[in-house]
Amino acid sequence: MDEFSFIDEIKQSYYRQPSLIKGIGDDGAVTQPNGQNVVFVKDMFVEGIHFAAHTMSPFHIGYKSLAANISDLAAMGAQPAFYLVAISIPKEWPLKKIATIFQGMKRLANKYQMDLIGGDTVSGSELVISITAIGYAEDNKARYRSDASVGDIVFVTGTLGDSQAGLHILNNPGAYLDESYYLMRHQMPSPRVEFALELIRLPRLSLNDISDGIASEVHEIADASKVTIVIQENKIPVHFSYGQFDTNKQFKWKLFGGEDFELVGTVPKQHWNCVQEAATLHQIKVSKIGYVVEQDSRSNVLLQLENGKKVSLQKDGYNHLSR
Amino acid sequence: MDEFSFIDEIKQSYYRQPSLIKGIGDDGAVTQPNGQNVVFVKDMFVEGIHFAAHTMSPFHIGYKSLAANISDLAAMGAQPAFYLVAISIPKEWPLKKIATIFQGMKRLANKYQMDLIGGDTVSGSELVISITAIGYAEDNKARYRSDASVGDIVFVTGTLGDSQAGLHILNNPGAYLDESYYLMRHQMPSPRVEFALELIRLPRLSLNDISDGIASEVHEIADASKVTIVIQENKIPVHFSYGQFDTNKQFKWKLFGGEDFELVGTVPKQHWNCVQEAATLHQIKVSKIGYVVEQDSRSNVLLQLENGKKVSLQKDGYNHLSR
Residue A23: which of A36, A35, A33, A13 has the closest Cα?
A: A13
Q: What is the pLDDT of residue B10?
A: 81
- The average pLDDT across B311-318 equals 85
Chain A CB within 8 Å of residue B161 CB: no
Predicted local distance difference test score (pLDDT) of residue B71: 97
Question: What CATH code is assigned to B145-318?
Answer: 3.90.650.10
Residue A211 three-state SS? coil
CB proximity B7 to A under 8 Å: no
pLDDT digits (tens, 9 = 90+) for A243-266: 999 999 999 999 999 899 999 999
| Nearest by Cα to A160 from A220, A236, A244 | A236
3-state SS string for A62-77: HHHHHHHHHHHHHHCC
Q: How many residues does chain B have?
A: 323
What is the chain A residue with the closest CA to B74?
Answer: A27
Question: Which CATH superfamily is A145-317 part of?
Answer: PurM-like C-terminal domain (3.90.650.10)
Q: Whole-angstrom Cα distance, residue B177 to residue A44?
A: 43
> ipTM exceeding 0.90?
yes
B26 → closest Cβ in A46, A128, A145:
A145
Q: Which of residues 27-66 of B touch A (CB under 8 A)?
A: 27-33, 35, 37-46, 48-50
- Cβ burial, residue A320 (10 Å; 0-12/13-18/19+): exposed
Burial B45-68 (b: 16+ CB within 10 A, else e): bbbeebbeeeebbbbbbbbbbbbb
Q: CA A215 → CA A233, A290, A306, distances in Å?
A: 11, 12, 17
Vertex B143 angle, CA B270 and B155, to 5°? 45
Cβ distance A28 to B208 less than 8 Å, yes or no, reads: no
Contacts of B203 (CB under 8 A, 6+ apart): none
Quick one: which H or E segment has residue B72? helix B58-75
CATH architecture for the domain at A3-137 = 2-Layer Sandwich (3.30)
Q: pLDDT tens digits, residue range B193-245?
A: 999 999 999 999 999 999 999 999 999 999 999 999 999 999 999 999 999 99
User: Residue ranges of the domains in chain A?
Assistant: 3-137, 145-317
- Three-state secondary structure of A35-64: CCEEEEEEEEEEECCCECCCCCCHHHHHHH
* Predicted local confidence at residue A3, as pLDDT: 60
Higher pLDDT, A4 or B119: B119
Strands B128-137 and B79-89: antiparallel
Per-residue pLDDT of chain A (323 residues; tens, 9 = 90+): 456 567 777 888 889 999 999 998 888 999 999 889 999 999 999 998 888 889 999 999 999 999 999 999 999 999 999 999 999 999 999 989 999 999 999 999 999 999 999 999 999 999 999 999 999 999 888 999 999 999 999 999 999 999 999 999 999 999 999 999 999 999 999 999 999 999 999 999 999 999 999 999 999 999 999 999 999 999 999 999 999 999 999 999 999 998 999 999 999 999 999 999 999 999 999 999 999 999 998 899 999 998 999 999 998 877 766 54
Q: For position A25, what pLDDT does the model report?
A: 85
pLDDT at A1: 46
* Alpha carbons A197 and A207: distance in angstroms, whole number: 12
- For residue B140, the chain A residue with the least C-alpha distance is A21
What's the rounded Cα separation, in Å, for the pair A38 and A52?
Answer: 33
Which residues does residue B264 pair with via DSSP β-bridges, in sequence order?
A: B156, B208
What is the tens place of the pLDDT at every residue in B237-246?
999 999 999 9
**Residue B68 near chain A (CB below 8 Å):** no
Q: Is B251 helix (H, G, I), strand (E, B) or coil?
A: helix
- Burial bucket for residue B253 (CB in 10 Å: 0-12, 13-18, 19+): buried
Least confident of A69-78, B159-168, B307-316: B307-316
Q: What pLDDT, on the 0 to 100 scale, is given for residue A4?
A: 57
Q: What is the pLDDT of residue B323?
A: 44
Does residue B3 have a pLDDT over 70? no
Q: Express each pLDDT in B20-70 by its tens digit.
A: 999 988 889 999 998 899 999 999 999 988 888 899 999 999 999 999 999
The pLDDT value recorded for residue B1 is: 46
End-to-end CA distance of chain A: 66
Judged on CB neighbours under 10 Å (0-12, 13-18, 19+), B297 is: exposed
Residue type, B247: T
The candidate with the shortest Cα–Cα distance to A206, out of A194, A215, A219, is A219
B8 known ligand binder: no
Please, are residues A276 and A286 in contact by the beta-carbon 8 Å criterion?
yes
**In angstroms, how far is the first alpha carbon of chain B from the final one?**
66
User: What is the pLDDT, as a whole number, of residue A323?
Assistant: 44
Other beta carbons within 10 Å of A2: 7
